[in-house]
Structures are given as structure tokens and as C-alpha cells.
Chains A and B, each alone.
Chain A
Amino acid sequence: MDGVDGLIALADVERRLRAYGTALWGVDPPLRPLVGEGDPAALRPCFDADLVRLPAVWPSLALYRAALAHVGAHRMFSRPLPAKGLKPLLTIVVSLVEDARVEHLAMRRLPGLRRLWAPFHRVEPSPSLMAADLLERLARALFDAGYRDGNAWVDKGQRLFFERPERWENPNFSLALGGDLAGDLGKTRVQINARGHRVDPAYRDDNGGLWLYDTPPEPPRDADDPLEAVRPEPMEGEGNRRNGPPQALPAPAPLAAAAETTALRPVARYPEWDHRIGLHRPGFVQVVECEPEHQPPMDVPADHRLAGRVRALIRHAVVARPERLRRQREGDALDLDACIAATAARRHGHAPDMRVYRRVRRRGRDLSVLLLLDASHSTKDPVGDGTVLDLERRSADLLAGALAAAGDRFALAAFRSDGREAVHWLPVKRFAEHYDAAARGRLAGLDGRWSTRMGAAIRHAGTTLAAQPTLRRLLLLVTDGEPSDIDCPDPRHLVEDARKAVRELAGRGIDVVCVALGGDARTHHRIFGRRNVLPVDRVERLPEILPTVYVRLTG
């Protein structure tokens, strides 16, 4: 993991870090890489209400952890203050006191954090009166009550800080003490370059998250960060983009284009639930089947180890479950109950039932699963070096290959919609078909277009599953968004309809589970019920997660 020059990359440890931050603080803010010129070790983290930015490469995992723990402490205990009218020196010293305050509050709850942060406070007492040195020493003095500096200003800060620890609870404490200390410093001849000031030790953030500025204090340091474009607050039209094409765009040209290679065949009409009147609108939606364009099948999964693991996992779940059969004509062990019954019958003078053996058999699974992929426009969003749909395809291919090898009954299809008259159903593999080169070609040919009229797709999946003769029937729906369609301005309508559709299936004994690659968790909970939603924290991991989910659901 150690890269060049003893640096490690955020991307390599991001998942671990996020889990660490979540474990500590119970919240999981998105992490973004911070790119800068010059020495990465000189970069400082920054955060705001929505994001935490950490250097894209940095010297060590311990430093990343220390930084995340520190930012977490701010997010937990700091309230941003208006910076308006405050001198830069004042904000620097107040921030420094605030850093110490929140760390001590955090250490009250989690005392082991001291061992995490302490190694970074390495500055030693010195006669230097440079502002940067004094500030770093004050940082150490406020962190470590046992540190002795000798400089009158540092010592005063330390004494006042530790004098009455109960005041740490009060967020104004930093403003008061910091103001006092900044005043002292201002009276000396100590020079400070507030603009060029760099916070030390390295794990502490740049203080930007502590202050409310009218205008950004300086241009974002990672202006060239491509992820900068991904803002947490939806931009104009973005809400639509996630779930379908923006309505303002010219109508999607393309029925014709799509029809070039694929025949559209109406296969069913379904009602749609109108929650405002509490009634179904009969025959409101038409499902058309369209054969996905054939493409050369994806390469055998590049990751052989993963493919092997998935196959083993599925095999184990499907095949290795023994079932004890009792009252057998032959077998490896006696069935005690049957023996007793037979003996009893004989003593009573009846003809005994001689099926007195027990046998262990590999359980044939009484289960049919339909894996349904969302193939709407939003699945074209990039992740890693492909798109969401690429990942859906890869994951489905891995899982399907393993299921076919193990012999579970399954079908694979995708859906999207272009208004209520054209909910597309794209069969990849039907229950009766083999998962062969043709099916893999159809899977490879799926492309992302249009919208997500989920209710109709769920109902059609229900029709398919209801025809299966097994006891248990499961619809596993993989989606990256929420229901939407071009002819449906009220977002609640399709959500309520999808919810209704899920219930209709439940009523027919079909379970519906959603693997959510994004979108609003509350909407998914509303549609599928909380316990039937499995959020995937990083879409890149879908190929690993989907088989695990499958095993857990059906095991």
C-alpha cells in the first residue's frame, strides 16, 4: 500500500477510513480527495457541512485517521461562527483554542484518541518568537497538560485553558480565551502572515469549516479537482438527471433508433395506483418487450479471484445445504421415531411401516429468483472507469454465471420507461433459457436510456414470477435511483404506485428486495419497506456485494 516516497493514496484506504469515521462518530460524510501543488505532506484537510476533503496522497494511514477523528470532533462539537469583521490573527488563535477544546471533549468520550493524536505534537520548547512556532507550541500546550514550554504567552494560554475544564462544554469558551490570547499576541512585535498561515500539527484542518464567510476567503485549493463538479446540493435540473432525462430536452429521439436493432412488442397492460384518489387506474400502463441488442459478451471477468469466490459462495449456498429426510425405505441411519412406531405397530398386531431409515440429501432449492436491473438514463453516470450500468452488468454476469453453474432457478431482465405507453422490458435470460453466450450477449447489449417507471416493471416481474412453480419467489431489483417518468410531474405518484406494486406482489407470496445503488433512502424504505432495502455504500463494490446479498436472502 505504501506508494512512492512513503505516501499512501486516499483511494486505497478510503473504505477503511470511512468505516473508521462512521464507527467513531456515527455519521458518514462523503470523503473527497484534495489535490494541490507541491509537497502533499503540506496539505491540510478541510471540511464543511457536507463534505470532508482529505489530501489525495498523504504520508500515512495514521495521519488520515487522526485527521478524520479531528474533523469528526469538530462536526460533533463545533458550531461555525461568523467571521465578519474579525481580524485574521483572531480567527487563527480562536481556531487553535477551538481545536483543543473539541479534542478534549472527544477524548472524554474516547480517551484512546489521545494516543492517535499525541505523536503529531512533536514541537519542543524553544526560544523562537516566530508566530508559527509560538502557535504550534500553544497547540501542543493545550493538547498536553503535562507539556512545559517556558514562554509566558504559551504558559498563560495553557494555564487558562486547563484552569476550568468544565468550561470546555461552552462553545464560546474558544472565542473568549482565543480573543484574550490574540490580543496579547497583537501587542507584541510578533509578525504573522495570516494568509500564508498553515495549521500545525498536520492532522488538523485548515479551520475553514469553523467560520462563516460572506465570500469564500480564498479560491478553493482544489479547483482542478474533477470531483468538485459533484456538489452535494442538486444543481439546476440535476434532480431530473439522476432519474431520467431533463424534461426540457427535446423528446428523446429515438424510438426509431432503438427500433433499428430491436423489435418492440407490447406484452401486457397494467393498472397504476393513484394515491390521491386511492384507486387503480385500470390498464393505464403498457409494457413492451424489447430484445436487447446483441453485443459481443463481456470478457470473462477480469478478476478471476473474485469470480472464483463468487462461484464458491453460490455453490456453497445452493448445494451444500443438507436436508434430513425421515421415514425412508433406505438410508444411512435408523429413524428412531419410525422404528418405535413400527415396533409398536407390530406389538399391536398391525402391519408395520418399514420405512425406518433416515437419509441426508442435498437440498433442492424450492426457489425462483428474478434479477431485475434498472437500465434508465441515470445508469450511464460514471463510476470508476465505467458507468453504473457497466457495474450492474458485470455484477449480474458474475452472479448469473455462478447461479447457472450451481443450478438455481433464475431469470435476468432489465427495465426502463419512456412514458406510460412504453415501459420497456428487456429480457436477458428467461427462466426456461440457459445462461449462454446469447444471453450474455444480450446482457452486454443493455444500454441506459429514459426513465424509471418502477411500479409497472415490478408488476410485470410479478407476472413472470407468479408463473414459477416454486414455493419461494424473489424479485431482486437493482436500481440507482427512484421512480420517475416524463409524463409524471408529481414525484410522489410513482413512488406510491411502486409501493402498491410491491404490496401486490407480497400478497401473491412474492418477496421483493431492492439493492439500492443511490437515490433517496427514505423513498426506497417507503416503497420496499425498510428491511427490504439493501444500500450499497460504494457502487464499485457491487460485483462483490450482489452475490453476498443473494446468498443472504436465499440462504
Chain B
Amino acid sequence: MALHTYRIAREPYYCPAGDEIALFEAAHADRLPVMLKGPTGCGKTRFVEHMAWRLGRPLVTVACNEDLTASDLVGRYLLEAEGTVWQDGPLTLAVRHGAICYLDEIVEARADTTVVIHPLADDRRALPLDKRNELVTAHPDFQLVIAYNPGYQSVAKDLKESTKQRFAALEFGYPAAAVEAEIVAHEAGIEPEVARRVVAVAERSRNLRGRGLEEGASTRMLIHAGRLIARGVAPEAACRMAIVLPLTDDSDLRDALAAAVGACF
């Protein structure tokens, strides 16, 4: 089985925030392409991993960046002793053999790369391989999922309308405080009470969103802080290192945030 290594053996830990699991299952049943919208580090990737495991599908993940070419996605000819052989790219692999293909941070990819997914995301459900002169019809189990952070305010980094319109969307935000504390405690291995304090720090930083900070602390940052605490770092120092300093270079805000961190412990 071609996608053997892409199967997820153990249940990825995922704490639902609402009915996203049921909604995704419904979308998957119809193989609708799904867009996960939300700020970075709020659990989109983890959610897809969990869903792939839950639905028993292999998961092919591609982290997009501005150097990613269409060939990197669909595949290319390689040289061998006897001649050239075609090698499927990750997207083609998923299309042919029926995996969930997850394109993370899709806006980072160049526009010409993004368009190769268009025929997969509408009724055609097919992927043309121009170099090979082949049209790969999607396996019945194939599903396309992309992650998109609408928070970027760059006109250069927005999805084209024609891309957006092909997807159903699920919105992700930071989980409610109690849920987020549970996640942090679980992922970082710290006491629930300490995790709650770390989440209180996150709330402080999120209060500054749009009032100086572009984005508040992500769940991922909280887990980093939690891990430092688990290693014996004092909570305030851990939050400073994992949250305050990475978030901003503005000295006024840093000072204010550091003082607010002090109020949390």
C-alpha cells in the first residue's frame, strides 16, 4: 500500500472546542474540500491529524513556503540508470491513493502553485500532470484540506477569491480558557493550576491584540512556556521567554506585558 507510512497509528490528542469534529466528518463524507481558518498555533494541524486518525485515512501534509513550486506538489521526472522515471509529488500521491492532503499555511505558497489545486477542489476532482500528459482522477477517498490564517494583513498574502470559493470552511480560534488549560497541562505535563495561570497570561496578551500586538499568544506558545516550567524554570521567566519576548519588539508593550505576566502568578 503506497501510503502506508502516512497512516496515523495512535490517536492524536485533540480537545474539541465545539462541533468541528461532526462538521468535518460530514464534509469528509462528501469529500468536500475544507479550509481551516484561524491564527497560527491554535490547533488546526492537530485537528487534521486527529480527524485523519478518526476517519482511518492516511494524511499527507505539505508545509507551504514561497519556494514551493508546482513540481514540488505534483511530482517530477528523476534520472535513473536506464532513463527517467516519474515520481509523484505528495499531492499526486494523495490524489492517486486516497489520502487526506493537508496544505498548511497555503498563503505562503506562490499564486501559480496554488492554482494547481483548483481542478481538485471542484467537480472535476482530477489533477492534470502536464509533464506526463496524464490526468489523474482522484481516488474516492481523497480529500483536500488547507489551512489559512486570515490575520495576515498583507495584500500580497491573501488567497485569491477563486481559490476561497472552492472550499467549505471551519473557523478556529483559541479554545475557551478551561479547555486551553487542559490542553496546556496535557501537552506540557504541568499541573492544571499552573496551566490555568499560563492561560491567564495568554488572555492578557490577547487583550492587546489590535492595540499594539498583531496577534496574542498562541496555544503553541503556551505549551512552550509550560514545557519550560516543567523543566523547572520559574513561571514568570518561562512566560517571558516563550511568550513576551517572541511576541513583540516594542519596548512599551514588552514592559506592559511583562508586568501583566507578573500579575498572573
Q: Write the residues of chain A forming the contact surface with B, with a CB cutoff of 8 angstroms.
A: 15-20, 22-26, 28, 65, 69, 109-113, 115-116, 324, 326, 337, 340-341, 343-344, 347, 367, 472, 474, 511, 513, 531-532, 534-535, 537, 552-555
Contact = CB atoms under 8 A, between A and B. Distances in A.
B265 A554 contact: no
A464 B143 CA distance: 44
A522 to B, nearest CB: 14
B256 A16 contact: yes
Q: Which of A23, A69, A554 is packed against the most chain B CB atoms within 10 Å?
A: A23
Contacts of B200: 109-110
B87 to A, nearest CB: 10
B155 A553 contact: yes
Interface residues of B, number: 38
B155 A511 contact: yes
Contacts of A15: 252
B153 A324 contact: no
A344 B78 CA distance: 9
B79 interface: yes
A89 to B, nearest CB: 33
A105 to B, nearest CB: 14
A113 B211 CA distance: 23
15 contacts: A19-B211, A19-B257, A20-B259, A22-B207, A25-B207, A26-B207, A28-B211, A110-B200, A112-B261, A324-B67, A344-B83, A367-B156, A553-B153, A554-B154, A554-B155
A315 B240 CA distance: 31
B260 interface: yes
B205 interface: yes
A537 B67 contact: no
10 A-B pairs with the lowest CB-CB distances in the bound complex, closest first:
A19-B256, A23-B260, A20-B256, A112-B263, A23-B204, A110-B263, A344-B84, A26-B207, A511-B155, A16-B252
B155 A472 contact: yes
B263 A19 contact: no
Given A23-B257, A112-B265, A347 B211 contact: no
B155 A344 contact: no
Contact of B154 (A16, A20, A553): A553
Given A65-B259, A535-B210, A555-B156, 11 more contacts: A15-B252, A19-B256, A19-B257, A22-B208, A24-B204, A28-B211, A111-B197, A112-B265, A326-B69, A344-B79, A553-B155
A472 B207 contact: no
Contacts of A511: 155
A537 B156 contact: no
B153 A19 contact: no
Q: Which of B84, B252, B256, B264 is packed against the most chain A CB atoms within 10 Å?
A: B256
B71 interface: yes
B264 A337 contact: no
Contacts of B211: 19, 22, 28, 537
A245 to B, nearest CB: 32
Q: Which of B77, B79, B155, B261 is packed against the most chain A CB atoms within 10 Å?
A: B155
B260 A554 contact: no
Nearest to B150: A531
A326 B67 CA distance: 11
